[in-house]
Structure 1
C-alpha cells in the first residue's frame, strides 16, 4: 500500500481549519491541501501528556490565524505509517507542509508565543510562505547553535523530507547527531553524500566536527592533562590533547589558546600539527564563528610576528 495513497479523508474536527486524518486520507488532507495553504501536521497519541498540552494551543493559534494555515492531527497509535516514514521518534511532533512537501517542524510542547512565531514564519503576514526551505534551515541552524538538538533534528529532517539532496541540511543533521553523542549515525549520514559533493562547505564542516568528536572520545581526563602541562609546560602532546578535550566541552577559546601556545613554543612539533589542528577547528566552527575569527587573528600574530 502506498503511504500517501488517496482515499476518504477523516471528518473535520473544528471546521475546515482543523481536522483529524488517517493514513489513507493523508494525501488529500495534507499533501494536496498544502498546495493551497500551509498545513501543520500534529503527530500525537492518547497516552502522551505533552500532546494534551500542545494540541489545544495549536488549535487556538490556528483559529486565530484565520485561514493562513490549517491543522491536521494524526493519532500515531492508530495510524503509525506516516510518522514512521517521516522519522518521528518522539511526540508531540509537528511538521509544516507547503506545496506538498514538509518544510519545517518541531518536537515537544511549545508555549503559545512560540507557536504564533512558528505560524508567522511559515505563512508570513500576507498568508504566503516565502522560500520555506531556507526558513526551515535558518530555524534549524538557530536551534542547533542554541543547543536545542531535538528541535534542530526535526527542522533539518523536515527539509530533507522535501529535498534529500540539500547539503546544508545533511551537514546540519550530522552536526546535530555529533552533539547528541550519536557519532556512528552522524558518520552514516555523511556517508550518504556523493563523493563529488564531499567538498561542500556544510559537509566538510560537519565531517571536521565529527572527526574532532571521535578524537576527543579517546582522550584522558582534563584535570590529568592540565596537571601534566603544569608539571612540564613543554609537554606538547598533553597540551594538544587538552585543546581537543576543551573543544569537545565547548570551550573554544581555551582550546585555541593551547594550540597557539604550542605553535609559539615549537612550530615544527608533530609536523606542524598544532597549526593544522587549528585549521580543522576553524573549518568545523565555520568562517563567521567568533572563535574562528579570534583564532585566526591570534595565529597570524604568532606566525608573522
Structure 2
C-alpha cells in the first residue's frame, strides 16, 4: 500500500492539524474545513477512561500523517447541544469515545471505543485514500472530462468515458457514480440502479455512490411530482398543511428549484420536526447528498438546519 500519510505537507504544525472545536466553530473547522482535507472528530469527555487512551494515540497518528488529515476534538460535556444535534442528524454518538471522519462536508466513516495504534493508523490511511491522495495514472483527468460532458448535456458520450475508466479501475467510486448519473440524465433509472448495485462492496458506501443513489431517489420522486402552482396555492391557503408543503418541496425540486425546495422543507421542519417520522429532515439530507458538498444550496441549507436544531 502506498504510504499516503507520509506524502502530505510535512510543514503542517500541530496547531493547524489538531484543534479543540465547539458548537460555534464546528461548521468552520469540520464541515467547511473537510471540503479539501478529511477531518477526524474525536468526541470525548474528561471522565471517560478510554478517551484518555485513545486521544493521544489519535493525535499521534494525525501528526504522523503530516497534513493528509486533520483532527477536531469535541468535549461532549461542554458541547452537549452540538452532540445532541449531531445525534439527531443521524450520527450514533450514544457512547464515547466516538471518532467520526468527515470529508467534503459529511461523515464518511467512524469507529467507537479505543483501538490499537496500528488500527488507528489504518483508519487514517483509508481516509486519506478516500480523499483521493493516491496517484491515479491519469484517470483523474478522464473523470473531469466525463463530468464536463455530463454537465454539458452529453450524457451518452460521458457514459462511454465513465465505462472506459471502470475498465481501467473497477473500484472507482466516482466512475460508478458518474455512469449511474448518466443513466439518470437519460431517464434510465433502473439501469442507473443496476450500475450502483454492481459496484464492489468496499466502495458501496463511498460519498459518490451515496450521492448517485440520492439522485436516483429524487428522479423517481420527480416522476410523480404534482403541479407547483396548485401545491403553492394549497400551502398559501393553509400554511399548516404540512403534506402539501412537503409535496410542494418535491415539485419544486423536480422543476429544478433546489433552493426553493430546501426552504420549504426547512419551514416544514421548523413547524414540526417529527412530522411523518422526520420526513422533512430525511428529504433535506437526500437533496444535500445529491448535490456537490460545496454547493451553496447545501452549505446554506445545512447551516439553517443546524440553527433550527440549536434554537
Instruction: Report TM bin, short chain.
Output: 0.5 to 0.7
The 5-angstrom pairing of residues 56-205 of structure 1 reads 131-205=137-211
Which residue number in structure 2 is paired with residue 214 of structure 1? Answer: 220
User: How far 1:257 sits from its partner (Å)?
Assistant: 0.5
Task: Check the 8 A contact 2:252/2:258 in 1, yes or no.
Answer: yes
Q: Distance in 2 between matches of 1:296 and 1:256?
A: 10
TM-score by length of 1: 0.54
TM-score by length of 2: 0.53
Q: Distance in 1 between matches of 2:151 and 2:299?
A: 17
Rg bigger for which structure? 1
1:250 aligns with one of 256, 265, 277 = 256
Q: Distance in 1 between matches of 2:159 and 2:300?
A: 29
Runs of 4+ in 1 over 4 A off after TM superposition: none
User: How far 1:267 sits from its partner (Å)?
Assistant: 1.6
Which residue number in structure 2 is paired with residue 23 of structure 1? Answer: none
Which residue number in structure 1 is paired with residue 24 of structure 2? Answer: none
Q: Residues 254 and 300 (structure 1 numbering): CA distance in 2 closer, same or farther, change over 3 Å?
A: same
Q: Distance in 1 between matches of 2:245 and 2:233?
A: 10
> RMSD value over aligned CA atoms?
1.9
User: How far 1:204 sits from its partner (Å)?
Assistant: 0.9
Structure 2 spans left out of the alignment, 5+ residues: 1-135
The 5-angstrom pairing of residues 221-232 of structure 1 reads 221-232=227-238
User: How far 1:137 sits from its partner (Å)?
Assistant: 0.4
1:277 lines up with 2:283 in the alignment: yes
1:75-107 per-position Cα deviation (integer Å, ceiling 9, x unaligned): xxxxxxxxxxxxxxxxxxxxxxxxxxxxxxxxx
**Equivalent pairs, count:** 176
SS at match of 1:268: coil
* 259-268 or 148-157: bigger deviation: 148-157
